[in-house]
Structure 1
């Protein structure tokens, strides 16, 4: 049974700020992702992204691409948000980041790209790595990167941690003042207007809510904060720093309910086969058939970014063939064999039924 008391639906400005930068930074890919869910981006999202892009200087465009396109480093910002649960305003987040050490940024980067090569936590080697960028650089060079742009950016960041921090902070502060701040209240109000709908869905059937919207089998006793997001738009993404005392976060697009309109049989089957048709997704399913994997582990195995893993999982989780399980203070992706096999059986039966007519 799911205890809805462990879940809180919220509207979190710093996380929305982060996702606004993803939406603008990934540019055309953002719209492509929406369309791959058989939906069209609505006029509101197009208008806001267009208006924000108009306010970018050429320098900001370059930096936004560097930090927030698909092979970018910008997703690291979520760690500063989760590690400081008291943050509720974007200026607070900017201050926390500005007051942090450049080595903190470098360490967060190396933890994200080199998880399997990291020394064990709470060891002397681990503690020494935290403040030694030369050792971080050595570790990064052991990581296999499929994306050469991402490799170059990671190496550059570790070679120049103070400069990278200053560049990142300047981009964050300029993007907030020029692009996000002028629309912030409107966006927060728009999200808040949709909050009641999801609160009702959660209250009516907590088990169905976590299975359908969060792709979890159960949540046990872990605390979950769910940020409803306009710029996430659709589907959900999971964040955790895997430490006691910190809640897990899910970012849920406010239009995610559109994914669960009843489809005709042929359309439902078409969506299933479309979801599993990508070679990376087939490889993910193959790996999950062997055992549960956590996201960073999959990213390193397939030599793709954690953001790309999340992107592919959005499609697989929509079909129900992949779910989350929490164990060993981590959230693992798991294969649901029943839901993987059932559409193939329905596909065969669909033609058998047609033949009888």
Structure 2
């Protein structure tokens, strides 16, 4: 059985740099830098000075108009994805990694209404059932009149509520929207990305080789302990894009190709081994206490104390989006307090009770300078 899983992982998982993906990740990082800095502070992580220098250089090279346009399409929530979901969909459903230039050409050939429909999906994917109200998405996405009517009746989740107005603007003027994002991408490529793409590629590919060696040494252990996922998740073709500009991140994106086959893209930060590797007792204690400074993380664990839950269950119980579930889960993954297992075609979060006891013991040792159990 173990050999079967190993062979499945070796067959399906490919480490390959996708320049087009790094291109739009770069824009998303610039648009959401404040959110990224907050996230790094939560994890007690110092962002790479070289990456920060790239951010600063990019901002200095962008015209005020280009920066406003970048914010229009990318600023709403780096972890949720909103209008920018359409661009990820366009890249990740392609069979092979794309250069940024090749993807821009491909996007220009894509109908404006198709891209705008994917923007709607990106904003509403965690409230899609409520939005559709019994309608079929494959029908709705081709009927902009019906789509507009449904959007008027349904607000997106509060985390991306500010995307609602821009989304209507795109929906009402798809061809103008296409002119705007095509101009933005061409300008960003010319003025910013073309100057930095080679060092970005080099740094990403160096890290990719390191992670690929770890994966090949023990595929199942890498997926469980470093990627923090259930190996059975990767029963379809999966590309690991190791991203320098993202720095720290572990996001799975699922898409259906035009042939209706499921594909997975994992965006994996170059410094993830610093997050998911071993930490000193004091650092673990600080992060353990930090984990409970947010009531939602405490509620997350208390929910799992009774039984495993899948993502949408947790989102509903805590009143947050599935993207926020993933955000908080990454923090808890860092401390190995939870794990994911696939059951009945769903991914369930499980509480690691023994790890919780271990961290409680470490905290006792650090805080009281005594071994656990001492009276």
TM-score by length of 2: 0.82
**C-alpha deviations, 1:85-109, integer Å up to 9, x for none?**
2352112211222222222123212
Displacement of 1:286 after TM fit? 5.7
Aligned to 1:235: 249
Q: Secondary structure, in 3 states, of the residue corresponding to 1:227?
A: strand
Distance 1:49 1:212, change over 3 A: same
1:253 paired with 2:269, answer yes
CA gap of 1:348–1:321, structure 2 versus 1, over 3 A, is closer
Give how far 1:55 is off: 0.7
Q: Find the counterpart in structure 2 of residue 334 from structure 1.
A: 349
Per the alignment, residue 183 of structure 2 pairs with: 170
Structure 1 residues 118 and 152: alpha-carbon distance in aligned structure 2, compared to 1, 3 A threshold: closer
Partner in structure 2 of residue 191 of structure 1: 204
111-120 vs 210-219, which moves further: 111-120
Say if 2:160 is the partner of 1:142: no
2:286 matches 1:270: yes
**75-84 or 154-163: bigger deviation:** 154-163
Residues of 2 paired with 1:263 and 1:128: CA distance?
Answer: 50
Residue 160 to residue 85, structure 1, CA distance change in 2 (3 Å) = same
Q: State the partner residue of 2:52.
A: 46
- Please tell me whether residue 293 in structure 1 is matched to residue 293 in structure 2: no
User: Match of 2:201, SS?
Assistant: helix
Cα distance between partner residues in 1 of 2:94 and 2:168: 27
- Asked if 1:205 corresponds to 2:218, the answer is yes
Give per-residue Cα distances to partners, 1:108-148, cap 9 Å, x unaligned: 1222314223559xx98443312111211222232343144
* Structure-to-structure mapping, 1:78-97, within 5 angstroms: 78-97=88-107
Q: By how many angstroms is 1:268 displaced?
A: 1.1
Q: What is the SS of the residue equivalent to 2:227?
A: coil
Question: Structure 1 residues 298, 174: closer, same or farther in 2, change over 3 A?
Answer: farther
Residues 355, 306 of structure 1: CA spacing in aligned structure 2 closer, same or farther, 3 A cutoff?
closer
Distance in 2, Cα, partners of 1:95 & 1:194: 28
**In the superposition, relative to structure 1, how do residues 9 and 44 fare at CA in structure 2: closer, same or farther (>3 Å)?**
same
Which residue number corresponds to residue 99 of structure 1?
Answer: 109
How far apart are the structure 1 equivalents of 2:211 and 2:89?
26
Matched, 1:160 2:177: no
Matches of 2:121 and 2:224, distance apart in 1: 29
Distance change in 2, residues 1:285/1:172 (3 Å):
farther
How far apart, CA to CA, are the structure 1 residues paired with 2:357 and 2:220? 21
Name the structure 2 match of 1:346: 361
Q: Is 1:12 the equivalent of 2:18?
A: yes
Distance 1:162 1:228 in 2: 34
| Structure 1: unaligned runs, 5 residues or longer | none
Deviation at 1:163, TM superposition (A): 2.3
- SS of the residue 2:371 aligns to: helix
Choose 167-176 or 236-245, whichever is displaced more.
236-245
Q: Please, which runs of 5 or more residues in structure 2 have no aligned partner?
A: none
CA-atom RMSD in angstroms? 3.1
Q: By how many angstroms is 1:82 displaced?
A: 1.7
How far does residue 180 in structure 1 lie from its aligned partner after superposition? Answer: 0.9
Please give the secondary structure, in 2, of the residue aligned with 1:353: coil
User: Is 1:224–2:238 an aligned residue pair?
Assistant: yes
Question: Contact conserved, 2:16 with 2:240, CA < 8 A, in 1?
Answer: yes
